[in-house]
Every structure is written in C-alpha cells, then in structure tokens.
Amino acid sequence: MNKQEQPYRIILSGGGTGGHIYPAIAIANELKRRYPTAEFLFVGAKDRMEMEKVPHAGYKIEGLWISGLQRKLTLKNLLFPVKLMSSLIKSRKIVNKFKPDVVIGTGGFASGPLLKVASNKKVPALIQEQNSYAGITNKLLGKQVQKICVAYDKMDRFFPKEKIVKTGNPVRQDLLEIKGKKEEAIHHFKLEKNKKTILVIGGSLGAGRINELIEKELPYFKQQNVQLLWQCGKYYFEKYKKHTELAYVQVRQFINKMDLAYAAADIIISRAGASSVSELCIVGKPVIFIPSPNVAEDHQTKNALAITEQNAGILIREKELDNQFEICFDELIGSEKLQADYGAKIKKLALPDATMRIVDEVEKLLEK
C-alpha cells in the first residue's frame, strides 16, 4: 500500500485555550496532507472553546466532563475526582471504539485521561509541550508517552531526556506568509490606509489588565493618530464593545482571520503565551509584550524574556504599565527605524517548520 493511502486512525487531545487547540489543529492538518485517507478524532473538554473551534476546522470532536484543579479550595475541586473518573471511563470507550494507531496530546486537562488510557493500552503516544515551564498534565504524562516535542531548551528538568525532541511550536499555516496581504487586510477590516494600525491581542479568552490599559489609553491613542484593532476576548466583549462607536477603534470578541489582522498591524500589543510568541516571531512585526503574571512559574514572562533579551521586542510587566506604557509606545511609534529593527530581529527567532518536525516524529511512531 502506498504510504499516502495508509488508513491510519489518529486521536488528538488538548484544549481549554487557543494555545492548546491551534497547535493540535495545525498538527492534524499536516498529517491529513501526508495521509489523506487517515481518520481523525479530537477529544476535548465539554463546554470549552475546542467544542466550537475544532468542528469549525473540519474535524470531529468528543467532549469529556473534566476541568482543572483550582489553586484555591473551592466547591469545584470537590467534583474533580468524579469528573476524572467519568473522563477516564469515557476515554476508555473512545479508545476501544476508535482504535487509534497513535494519540497526540497538546496539553490542557482534557488530554490527561485520554492519553493515560491510550498509554495503558500500549497505543503509541506523543505530547507537545508549548511552554518553557511544563504543565501539570504533560508532566504526569511524560513518563508514559514515547516522545515529547518541546519549544525550549532545558526541558529535561520536567521530562526524561531521551524522549525529548526540540521542534518549536506549531502555528497556523496561513500565518507563515502574510506578505502582500496588507491591502486585503485594510479592506477586510475597513481600516484607514494612512493611519498606523495597532493590533491588541490578549489571548483567545481575553486579558483583563490589557483591556483596562487600552480603555484608559483611548484618548492617548487618538492623540497619536493611530487606529486600534482590539481583540478583547470572549469574557470581556460586553464590557468593551461600546468603544467601537469611536471612529478609530474596532473591538472584536475574536478574530478568525488572524493572518489579515497580522498583515494589517504596524505594532502589536500581546500577551506572551507560548503559541502567541511563536506566531509573532513568524509574523515579524514590532511587539510590546505584556505577560500574564498569573501562570505557573511566571512562564509568560520567561517566554517574553527569550525575545526581549535578544532586543527583538519590548517587555512591560503589568505592575509597570501605568508608568511605562506611554513612554515605550512614544519611543516606538516615533521611530520607523526602531519598528523595522524589532520586526527584523523577532523574525530571525522564528521556527516556521515546527509542525513538520512534530509530524515527522508522529510518523516514526506510526511506522514502528
């Protein structure tokens, strides 16, 4: 049988945020390109964004009744053992029925039960860890799976060294080439050609502190004669959508055409989640990173520092925003040379073939 005609059955699991979902979709798309007759099934958490985004990308998904442990003592934590048992039982049913040749986990609590069951049944498994500080689910799974794809050095403090392959993080294929799309982007978002466009992205669910900053600085942005394309996130849209009444502001809950948003942008203000950082390196535009301080081991700050220590972007911590934002923005908006330098330097840090490298590792498991 021709390699491309192999009717492989592949399960991908992960979710909760775009940082876990989009890498899984990118991996699936590359596997589908190599194996057009393969059958795919995603497994995610019920009521989380993967239940919408995965079908939108053209794949089937099953939902588990699972959520993460809260850091504080809450009633939700009392339900955790029940949810975990329910998810393990459903995962066993899914694996028994679908009979996968390989399973791939991209992080998030939904991937834990599925990969645990699959590994116990000796199904070859691979996990992809996006961050510089490994998530609890992946740390637990690292002992059981055959291969661990990472984006940062020194990950052997979390995983067995012999299983680790440094691949980088998968990104959506449409982001790999935004050159020549600026005119289409300006038309799509109904932007003014002669104004600088500031793209604000706080992650798929939104970032409260970034949204507060942007609202506070709206008169300042008007004074700077720029226009804003502001993705405020699902949780914050009702609060901030009123600002679209301003001629120079567009507030979006979510932007589906991210390739056009990146093409339109002259300057980007962003969180520093692993997938976002990987995308922004490929996009090659000047970035002001505002990392979330509310994540394990402050890994967003570490992700941003990996860029800014190379003079390839600007880092402003949340506690410094009130004092530093306008100073940094003034300097950046006032210098075309500085904008070009930051854009060129961040692009040099890109690993655009990460998806291909990960799928190469999946292929090795399939061919064993």
Per-residue pLDDT tens for 56-99?
A: 999 999 888 776 655 555 666 666 677 777 777 888 999 999 99
Look at residue 24 in the predicted model and tell me its pLDDT: 93
Burial of 73 (0-12, 13-18, 19+ CB in 10 A): exposed
DSSP 179-207: TT-HHHHHHHTT--TTSEEEEEE--SS--
Closest CA to 132 of 272, 267, 310, 280: 272
Per-residue pLDDT tens for 136-183?
A: 888 989 999 999 999 887 899 999 999 999 999 988 777 778 989 999
Distance CA(288)–CA(207), nearest Å, equals: 14
Per-residue pLDDT tens for 271-318?
A: 998 888 999 999 999 999 999 998 767 889 989 998 999 999 999 999
Residues of the chain with pLDDT > 90, as a percent, come to 67
What value does the mean pLDDT take over residues 122-140? 89
Q: Which domains does the chain have, with CATH numbers?
A: 3-170+353-367 (3.40.50.2000), 174-348 (3.40.50.2000)
**Cβ distance 257 to 238 under 8 Å?**
no
Tokens at 174, concatenated: 């449409």
User: In sequence order, what are the residues at sequence separation of 6 or more whose Cβ sits closer than 8 angstroms to the Cβ of residue 310?
Assistant: 345, 349
Q: Which long-range contacts (CB under 8 A, 24 or more apart) does 140-144 make?
A: 140/112, 141/105, 141/111, 141/112, 141/115, 141/116, 144/115, 144/116, 144/119, 144/120
Look at residue 343 in the predicted model and tell me its pLDDT: 97
Is the per-residue pLDDT at 234 higher than 80?
yes
Lowest mean pLDDT among 11-20, 74-83, 143-152, 240-249: 74-83
Distance (Å) of CA 34 to CA 11, 39, 220: 16, 12, 50
